[in-house]
């Protein structure tokens, strides 16, 4: 079973992913050609030569970037940690790296360290900060891997010694307490090499968590496929990395935004099955966060903040016999939380055999009337009355305090 041994990660449930790099300058289009894939892969998909792509650095001047405002927003959205793409597959370092001048301080007119600014803002708002680091793919370095291309002449060992290991050391020694390193796409990394990376991380910061995509089964938590949710409750620590539209890096043509309701349902579904939801924003080249992302996350944040007790610190719910067409369950010891996504006059739950001590509305703590009994078909039934002023509302939660620490789920008998 995956175990990060970090209580903050187990309780976190909701985090912010930030994908930002030179690809934001292209915003999904190069020389009039649009990429129909994720925007941060444009160099690979449209076969942009290194000498051409690296010129983007000269255009990168994100004067509207405001680390303080982004972290403050994440805090207001209820998120508990931030993962920032310190270096994505394009190979561009978003900090003042000493082992490659291909970085935001030395190669751009902007000249300021993005990682440092985020670090300071996270310290100010007491937010955990982790770094995404592409350990194998580096499309700028002659020895870095590139998916779908010929890697037979690459000297990956040389790459590890020259770039990967020293850059990891820089991130782990120069930027305070690193909550986690979010490795990604290990490709040809051997078990021995993955182990070296883990040892390097742990030797510098023993509490820094290593993500699932370190490869070779060495991650401390399970990272699902992008936007993929385990069908069943999954034991141990895990996380779903996910997008708000169809891209990670900014793409000016991608308007396929999920609605706030969809995001709320996904968050609760993931939490209910025991995982964390790491939800992405992709700032523009100016540093501005797309307004659509902000609007969606502001609305989701209202739900998260007024129902935080039913989200944070919750545990995996076992297999309940039913899917509800109006809601979902989360739980803590001695508490079952019923998330109500559609207007209801009362809520009815079947096949839950717990002894209910009390029911209350999570957003304001109001006591709720309830009844328990056995249906004509012979299964347990709980009915909770929803107060008049909530009859037309959606997206709130109800807590059922139970005598038993765990939910007592009964099988369907008829």
Which residue number, 22 or 329, has a Cβ lying nearer to ligand FHN? 22
Which residue number, 242 or 352, has a Cβ lying nearer to ligand FHN? 242
- The nearest distance, CB 41 to ligand FHN, in angstroms, is 6
Which residue number, 44 or 397, has a Cβ lying nearer to ligand FHN? 44
Q: Which of 52, 226, 364, 367 binds ligand FHN (CB under 6 A)?
A: 226
Q: Where in 125-184 is the site for ligand FHN (CB under 6 A)?
A: 184
Which residue number, 182 or 370, has a Cβ lying nearer to ligand FHN? 182
Q: Which of 15, 28, 30, 40 binds ligand FHN (CB under 6 A)?
A: 40
Q: Which stretch binds ligand FHN (CB under 6 A): 3-11, 33-41, 74-82, 350-358?
A: 33-41
Q: Which of 38, 42, 146, 359 binds ligand FHN (CB under 6 A)?
A: 38
Q: Which stretch binds ligand FHN (CB under 6 A): 35-43, 92-100, 258-266, 330-338?
A: 35-43
- The nearest distance, CB 397 to ligand FHN, in angstroms, is 29
Q: Which stretch binds ligand FHN (CB under 6 A): 34-42, 62-70, 114-122, 160-168?
A: 34-42
Q: Does residue 404 touch ligand FHN according to CB under 6 A?
A: no
Size of the site for ligand FHN (CB under 6 A): 8
Q: Does residue 248 touch ligand FHN according to CB under 6 A?
A: yes
- The nearest distance, CB 246 to ligand FHN, in angstroms, is 12
Confirm if 137 and 185 have CB atoms less than 8 A apart.
Answer: yes
Count of beta carbons in the 10 Å neighbourhood of residue 376:
7
Cα Rg of the chain, angstroms: 23
Pair of tokens at residue 369:
């009337």
Phi, psi of 370 (to 5 degrees): -145, 160
- The nearest distance, CB 223 to ligand FHN, in angstroms, is 7
User: 222 forms bridges with which residues in the sheet?
Assistant: 238
Q: Which residues contact 379 (CB under 8 A, 6 or more apart)?
A: 350, 351, 410, 412, 413, 414
Q: Does residue 283 touch ligand FHN according to CB under 6 A?
A: no
- The nearest distance, CB 185 to ligand FHN, in angstroms, is 5
- The nearest distance, CB 321 to ligand FHN, in angstroms, is 33
Binding footprint of ligand FHN on the chain (CB under 6 A): 38, 40-41, 184-185, 226, 241, 248
């Amino acid at each position: 079973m995956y175990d990060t041994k970090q209580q903050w990660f187990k309780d976190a449930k909701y985090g912010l992913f930030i994908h930002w790099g030179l690809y934001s300058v292209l915003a999904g289009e190069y020389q009039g050609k649009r990429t129909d894939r994720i925007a941060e892969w444009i160099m690979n998909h449209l076969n942009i030569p290194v000498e051409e792509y690296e010129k983007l650095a000269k255009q990168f001047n994100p004067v509207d970037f405001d680390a303080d405002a982004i972290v403050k927003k994440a805090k207001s959205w209820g998120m508990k940690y931030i993962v920032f793409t310190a270096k994505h597959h394009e190979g561009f370092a978003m900090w003042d790296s000493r082992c490659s001048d291909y970085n935001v301080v030395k190669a751009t007119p902007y000249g300021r360290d993005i990682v440092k600014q985020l670090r300071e803002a996270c310290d100010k708002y007491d937010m955990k900060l982790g770094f995404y680091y592409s350990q194998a793919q580096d499309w700028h370095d002659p020895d870095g891997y590139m998916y779908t291309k010929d890697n037979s002449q690459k000297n990956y060992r040389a790459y590890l010694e020259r770039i990967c290991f020293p850059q990891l050391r820089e991130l782990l020694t120069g930027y305070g307490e690193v909550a986690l390193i979010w490795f990604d796409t290990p490709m040809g990394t051997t078990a021995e090499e993955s182990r070296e990376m883990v040892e390097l991380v742990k030797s510098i910061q023993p509490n820094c968590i290593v993500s699932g995509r370190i490869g070779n089964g060495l991650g401390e938590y399970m990272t699902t496929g992008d936007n993929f949710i385990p069908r069943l409750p999954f034991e141990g620590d895990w996380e779903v990395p996910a997008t708000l539209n169809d891209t990670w890096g900014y793409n000016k043509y991608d308007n396929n935004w999920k609605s706030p309701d969809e995001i709320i349902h996904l968050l609760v579904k993931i939490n209910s099955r025991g995982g964390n939801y790491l939800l992405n924003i992709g700032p523009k080249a100016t540093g501005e966060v797309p307004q659509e992302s902000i609007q969606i996350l502001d609305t989701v944040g209202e739900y998260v903040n007024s129902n935080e007790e039913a989200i944070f610190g919750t545990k995996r719910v076992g297999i309940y016999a039913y899917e509800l067409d109006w809601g979902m369950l989360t739980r803590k010891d001695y508490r079952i939380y019923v998330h109500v996504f559609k207007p209801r006059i009362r809520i009815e739950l079947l096949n839950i055999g717990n002894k209910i001590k009390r029911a209350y509305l999570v957003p304001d703590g109001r006591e709720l009337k309830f009844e328990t009994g056995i249906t004509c078909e012979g299964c347990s039934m709980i009915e909770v009355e929803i107060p008049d002023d909530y009859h037309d509302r959606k997206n709130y939660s109800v807590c059922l305090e139970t005598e038993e620490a765990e939910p007592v789920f009964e099988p369907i008998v008829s």
